[in-house]
Structures are given as structure tokens and as C-alpha cells.
Amino acid sequence: MQAKAYFEAVRNAERQLWLIKQQQRHAMEMATRMGGQSESGIKSPNVSSQVESAAIRIADLDADLQADVKRYQDLVHQARLIIQQIPQEKFREVLTLRYLCNRPWKAIKALMGYDGDKSVFRVHGYALAAAEKILQKEIPSDTK
């Protein structure tokens, strides 16, 4: 497994959590709107089933969210363990800022005190190479 793909999985899991939370928020808003309407303002004969459907959807999204939170926590924990094994402080810092803190390159460059983009990208490349070596020891590839 390539180090960049490994760490991108952490960022993707965080995005997935955000999307589920957005869906959950939307379902909650819909349930609130439906539950707050008077019977005379609702054209559908299945008023209670609409609210009930929204409540069920919220419960389903909550279950999805809890499973994804656990998956995300596991990914972050494993990524931290890999990063902690890297001896160079700058390498640990760039990987932490990029993949665990989800910072944009411009912010990373400023936080780490680099003037040019190439400097931070170079350090990132070296950091990924260092992480790749650790990953190869931790997760051996299939042998032929």
C-alpha cells in the first residue's frame, strides 16, 4: 500500500462523516417541518407515516454515523502510530498537519515556516517515503 493512499483514506473517512452528518441534519429538518405542520396544511393522507419515515431515516443515519465514527477513529489511531515512528520531526509535522488536521498546503507552509511551495512539497515527499518504509514493515505485501 502506498503511503499517500493510506493517509488519504483518513481524509476520505473524515469527509464521509461530514456527509452523513449533513444527511442527518437534513432529515431532522424535514421531520421538524413535517411534525410542525397543522393537519389542515398537509395534503397527504399519511401524515404520521411521513414523520415516522423521517424519524426512521434519522435513526438509520445515526447508525451509519456511529459505524463511520468508529472506522475513522481506528484509521486515525493507526495513522498516528505510523507517523510517530518517523524519526524526523518535520516529516511527522507535515503528515500530521496534512492528513490528521486536514490543513491546506498554504496553511502548512505558513505553520512550518517555509517560504516556497516546493519546500513543503519536498518535505512531504520525503515524509511519505519514510512512512512507506514503516508501512511496508507493518503491512507486508503479499509474497509471490
pLDDT > 70 fraction of the chain, expressed in percent and rounded: 83
Q: Which three cell numbers stand for residue 38?
A: 397543522
Please indicate, yes or no, if residue 9 is contained in any of the structural domains. Answer: yes
- Indicate whether 44 belongs to any domain: yes
> Burial of 3 by CB count in 10 Å (0-12 exposed, 13-18 middle, 19+ buried)?
buried
- Is there a domain that residue 18 lies in? yes
Note whether residue 131 is domain-resident. Answer: yes
Which residues does 26 contact at the CB level (< 8 Å), separation at least 6?
Answer: none
pTM recorded for the entire structure: 0.71
Is residue 36 assigned to a domain? yes
Domain hosting 105: range is 3-138
Q: How many domains does the chain have?
A: 1
Residue 64 located in a structural domain = yes
Burial grade of 4 (CB within 10 A; 0-12, 13-18, 19 or more): middle
Q: How does the average pLDDT of the chain come out, rounded? A: 82
Q: How far is CA 33 from the centre of its chain?
A: 30
Distance CA 94, CA 87 (A): 13
The verdict on residue 144 lying in a domain is no
| In a domain? residue 116 | yes
Over residues 61-84, the pLDDT tens digits come to 778 778 878 888 898 899 999 999
For residue range 7-17, what is the model confidence (pLDDT) as tens digits?
Answer: 998 888 888 88
